[in-house]
Structures are given as C-alpha cells and as structure tokens.
Structure 1
Amino acid sequence: MAFRKIIHVDMDAFYASIEQRDHATYQNRPIVVGGLPHQRGVVATASYEARAFGIHSAMPSSKAQALCPHVLFVKPRFDVYKAVSQEIRAIFRRYTDVIEPLSLDEAYLDVTTDKSDIGSALEIAQEIKSAIKKELSLTASAGVSVNKFVAKIASDLNKPDGLTFIGPSKVESFIEKLPIEKFHGIGKVTAKKMNSMQIYTGADLKLFSKPDLVSRFGKVGNFYYDIVRGVDNRPVQPFRELKSIGAEDTFNEDLFEFSDLREELLIIAAKVAKRLELKQVRGYTLTLKIKFSDFKQITRNYTHHVPIVIEEIPQIALDLLKIAPIADRGIRLLGITISNFQQNTSNDHQLSLF
C-alpha cells in the first residue's frame, strides 16, 4: 500500500518572532502583537515569553495585560508579515507545488512526489526548517506523517523549532495514546462532553461504534470514528475558488449567557481574520450565523459602504448578536462570514488586525 507523504509546517509565534528579529529591544521579552487594551484590542500573536504568563491568541488585550502587566504591545506590520510569508512559500516551492496555505504562518505540503527526488518527507522537512532558519532567522515546527490530521498534531508536539515524524506503522498507536484535548477539531466543550463519557484518549474514543458517535455528536461523529483509526483522506488542496471567507464553531453544550457567546465570537473573529490575511482580501458584507438548540437557524447581515477592515469584525458581529432574537434560547452554533469582496485591493488598503 502506497502512503502519502504530508508535511505540516507551522511557524513559531510568527508575528512576534518577526518583531523580535527586527527589533533588538524586543528580544527575550514578553510581547503581544495586536490591539491595545484601551482600544478593546485582541491578541494576534504572543511571544513565547508572553505565553509563559498564559497569554494566547484571540485573548482580549486587557486580559493579557492583567496576566502580565509589563507585556509590550506591538502594532502589527502585515505588509512585512506577508512579505516574509511569501519568502517561506518560495522555500516550500523548491520541493513541491502541492501547497495548501492555512494562514500566513502555516501550510500543508504534499511531498509524495518531490521536485528534487529526495524521497524522504522527513529529510525535506529538515531542509525546509534549516532554510527558514538560515535565510530568514526564524524558526518553524513541522509534523510529518501520512495524512493531514496527524501531520498537524505532530507539528505542535515539540514547539518551538520542533520536528516530529509519525510513520505509517505508528499512526494508530499514536492516536490511541493522544489525549482527546490534543485532537485537532475537538474544542473545550466537546472534550468536556467526551470526558463525561469516560473518553480521555484516542483509545477510549475507539471503543465507540460509528452509529453511537453519530447519535451523540452528529455528522462529525463519522470523522471521529475514522480519524481515531488513522483514516484521513483529505487531499492537500493548492487551489480554491474564493467566494467567501468564514469560520464557525458548534457547541455540544448550548450557550445562553451573552458573556459566553461574546468569548466564542472573539475566537471565531480571530479565525476569520487569519484567513482574510492569507488571501489579502476585504469584503463589504459580514454575515452572522446563529443556530439554536432546536436546530433552527437564522442569519443577520451587515453591509458597509466601504470594505470592512479586520479590526471592525468583532464589534460588528457582537452588534448583530445583540439585535438578534436570542433571549432565553440555547445556542449551539455561531459563525461569521465575510463576502461581497472588493475587486481590487491595492497596497494602499493593506489589511489591519484588531
């Protein structure tokens, strides 16, 4: 049986690392790239020194400041981040053209057939990491395996500057030992529900039949059943037709409190922001999607006379949520989508974040 060779490359604290590289005064100090606390900003990226205090992306800047009063807030320079991302992409293209960017700082590569006939995905990942460090003075972590799911999890295991290889014979045993919280796509709410079912590891999840998982988690139960057995046939997709950009999260426990909904919307807005950064587009229309516990669904739209900048997304989504008829109704899903894209985006209209 022929196995695919998939690499997931994830830059280490990308924005913050660039700022520390370019500014000597930021080195070895806790910094946050994002908006200021008094402007209701959100953390885009935190340096590893800041992460030691519990600061993470999508966190309100005010909370980051509370966790680390001496943290430095740095204004994003997306023109620089985009340029560096293109340099990283050029390094990828030395080995393959089958590249699926997820954001400016991470991508999947399919090197089943590589340009240099190296043959070893592990060796290619090592060369890519070395080139990024030598040429750009940045570090990347990489995961190497036979599918996207395992490669992505592997890239996160030994950060920063890590490299983890999970070979075909080790995939199932690796997933069986994996804590359920580490599964990409399983959030805190789902993990909590699984824990209540005595599911703490992949091995525990593997004990459940497909019909049982579907009955408890819906269609995503099919994915859980396959993935715990190492089955993920999703291809690396280098080309996609772009009509809209969005993100959504489903909660296995219905949410009623506005404070909980606000927190989830901030996380979703951050995901949308990263995807907009990647494509370097702006849209005129924001759509808020709300699905209730009875599976009834509503949407609320906002269209602006000029393209919506990223820093406006969280507040617009919150404003739409405030006017939606949600009183005393449990909400199981929230989503944000940007559409109606601007046809031409020049360098004079560079995206900003939070």
Structure 2
Amino acid sequence: MADHCATTFDQLAHSLGFSCDTAGGLVEVRNPFALENWTLPVLETTVILGSVLALVLAVVRLRRHGDPTNLVLWFGATAYLFVIEPPLYFPAAFGISGHVDTMFAHNVFTVDFLWGRLPLYIVAIYPFMATLAYEIVRMLGIFGRYGALAGATCVGFVHHAFYEIFDHLGPQLRWWEWTTSNPLNQPMFDSVPLPSVVVFAALWPMSLAYCVYRFVGRRADRGIHMPGFELTWRTVVIGLLASLGTFILPLPATVLGMAGTTVRGVVYALELVAVTVVAIPILYRQWTRLRREAPESVYTNKFVQVYSAAYLVVFAILWAAALPDFLDATNGLTRNGDPVGNLWYTLACFAVAIACVAAVWTRRGNSGHRGGLTPGERENGADQAISTA
C-alpha cells in the first residue's frame, strides 16, 4: 500500500512514530502493551467496550420491546463513518487529492484497519458517542415534547460536550496528529481545528439524530412495526442523509469562509453558539419539568446512565495524567513537542456532560415500571416513554 502513502500522511506517520510503508494491511493486530503510551489501550478499551455493549443492548431492546431505534442509531452512525472517513484517508484513490490533502493521521492502536489509517476504536466511537448523546436526550423526553429538530439540536449539543473532552486531549497524548497547514483545518482552536469542534462534534450527530428520529424513532414510539428489510434500507438512507446533512449544515461557514480564515472561524463559532442557545433552555426546562412531574412510565437506559458516568471518570483520569505536561507547556507545546488543547473549554464540556448525566439520574419516576408505551401514551407524545432492558 506504499503507493497510497501520500507525502503529508507519511510525515504525520513518522511524527507519530510509525512508518506509512510498513503500517500493516487491511487488518493488523498489535501488542497493547507496546503502543505509544498507556493511555492508548485505556482509550480503545473504554470506547470499544462501550460500543459493543450499546450494540448488544440495542439488539436486546429490539427483541424484547420491538423498538429498533437504538439498533438503527448504532448502524446508522457506522454507515456514516464508512461514507465519510475512507475518502479522508485515501484522497488519491477517490480522485480528490487535488482538492483534499491528508487532514490528520491516527496513531497505531491494538487493532487497525486500512494500512494504519483506521483504528478499531474509531469505528466504535461513532455509534458509541451517538448512543450516549441520543439516549440522554431521549431519556429526558425531548423528542416527544419538542419535536425532531429540537431533539436533534440537543443531541448535537450533548454529543459536543462528551466529544470535546476527548478531542482536546488526543493530540497531546499522541492519539492522532492534525495537519495544521491544511486550509480545511483552519482556523485552529489550540490543538483542535475549529471545523472539527463544530462539524464533527455537534453538527454530524445533530444530522444523524434528526434522521434517526424522523425515519425510525417516531414510528417506533407510535408502535409501528417495521420488518427487517425496511429497517435495513432506512438505516442505509439514514447514514447517507446524515452525511449529506454534514455537508449542508456547515454551508454558511463553507461559503462565507471563502472570504478568509477569520470569517470562517467566526461563522463556525456562531453556528455552535446557535446550537447552544437552542439546546440549553430546552434541556433545562424539560429536566425541571420531569423533576416536578412523575410520568406514569419513564424511558430509562441504564447502560447509558452508568456508562456515560464511567466515560467521564476515565477521561478525568486521563486528563489528570496529562495535566502536568499541559501545565508545563510553552507556546502551546509540551516538552515533547505535542500540542495541547484548551483546558478551560474542556472543563466547560465536563460541566455540561456531568449536568446531563445528573439530569437523567435525577428525574422523577427514575425507578418507574419497565415496559412499553400504551397506545394512548404513544399518541400523546414519546416523552411518556418506555423502559429499556
């Protein structure tokens, strides 16, 4: 695969400590104790385990309650991954090298695909993070009360908080490296491209959540049965439309950003502010409503309640381990030359994520009966929701 070792990727690979020419094949397995540092296997274990459990419980939920939403969400996120990522890894193979240079390179992990381009944990992180964000919003009953667009916006906001905790830490711990000279990565927000902060952390999960709810979630809440073939094509369409949404939603920044990097950065920031301004009041109002009222039946995903908290604990430990080098950094670089993220922004994201986890634990009716919605509840709104297995 040496013919696909673009110059930029080769430089990033050497910077991360491996060779593009010898980065395995379609699949490569390594000793987890021989990776760059101890944080890499901790990261991939946390994400892969969470993703596998999310998939298993999605299957259980479909079989026990006839609700395919979680399963479609999982596979829809995975479909999105395989639409978006391969062209970024091999722009020459997709005929776009004249327009898109290598934007980043992942370090090598225990399990890698595609000649060192795609770690298994990256495959897992798309459905894992999407599940955490979507289910937190779903447990608060926001889709049923406020609709698909408002619910999707809240998913984008929640996903952004969880994702940026990870995004601002990765470059310092050598989980990946960005091409800072690539115009598509400009402007940079410390060690993270602002387009990543907005598009991949907030807008793509927003697009995915909207499609999942409109194509499957709303029908499932109404008790409409969808056979296997129908679920399959709906899942594929969700992945494709979510990809299209990721192109459409950032268009203001893409078009207006032609005037310069500063303008692009301002527009990206305004898009993120818009998501935040919409999501925070909705999340707060719905949580306070659920604190006042105890619905007869409440949707509870115990896995997400527990694992979202575990995720935050793991990343608090990882950030604590990285903090000495972070505080000793000069001009945004550690002694080893690794770029550091924005600590204050990360702390704000931690605060939001902790508040979201606390919200789904402190609703009234949190110990409500298990089972599905009654027909009347389905008609009157999905915020009178179901318990999960």
Q: How does the TM-score come out when normalised to structure 2?
A: 0.27
Q: RCO (CA 8 Å, sep 6+): is it higher in 1 or 2?
A: 2
Name the one with the larger strand percent: 1
Q: Which has the higher helix share?
A: 2
